Amino acid sequence: MKKILFALAIMLGLSASAKAEEIMWRGFYADGFVGVGLFDSTQTVGGVKLIDQGGDYLSYGARAGYGWRFLQGLYLGGEAELWGTNGGRSRAVVNGDVYNYSINIGGGAFARFGYSPQNTRALFYTRLGMQFRDTNQGTDYPFAVGLGAEVPVSNGYLRVDFTYSKASGVELYQTTAGFGWRF
């Protein structure tokens, strides 16, 4: 009888732990982040094709979204973000013609698909969506793809993301890290 009660206690404890993990990754969230970005461009200036005339920048921003964990570890969510830069730019001069490119602000809307292995308290995900980039050349709306991870700490979570997008001959690689809260 003691063995049966002991087995039931263990099963109830594991069930409660799995339920707590599902609740941990369910609901609204918001976070702030800082990061770095690199952009490479392929442009034609003065009849000469320029490749990898890139620049770098520091970024800062915020995002908010909703997500939930279900079926013992699968995760689905959606989020929006807005970020600014320190005005990083790329500049090239060919035969007297000048090419300048800089990003002012950006943002996007993403779907997140992920997995949270049982008993790890971590979330690993990919995100797919559309960005917008306000640049000195106009506004672009590229498709974006990214990878990331979240780990709960204290009353919030730490998050790291890598996102890639390409539009108008400019490839953007952005890495961010931040701290957020769930509601």
Domain boundaries of the chain, sorted by first residue: 2-182
Work out the end-to-end distance of the chain between its first and last CA atoms, rounded to an integer number of angstroms.
43
pLDDT of the residue at 15: 40
CATH entry 3.40.50.1820 includes domain 2-182 = no
pLDDT of the residue at 60: 96
**Residue 114 and residue 126 in contact, taking contact as beta carbons nearer than 8 Å:** yes
**Residue 90 and residue 53 in contact, taking contact as beta carbons nearer than 8 Å:** yes
Give per-10-residue mean pLDDT for the chain (183 aa).
48 44 75 90 66 77 94 93 84 67 90 90 95 89 96 91 88 93 90
pLDDT of the residue at 100: 73
Question: How far, in Å, CA of 124 to CA of 148, rounded?
Answer: 6
pLDDT of the residue at 7: 47
- Residue 27's alpha-carbon distances to 30, 98, 115, in angstroms, are 10, 49, 16
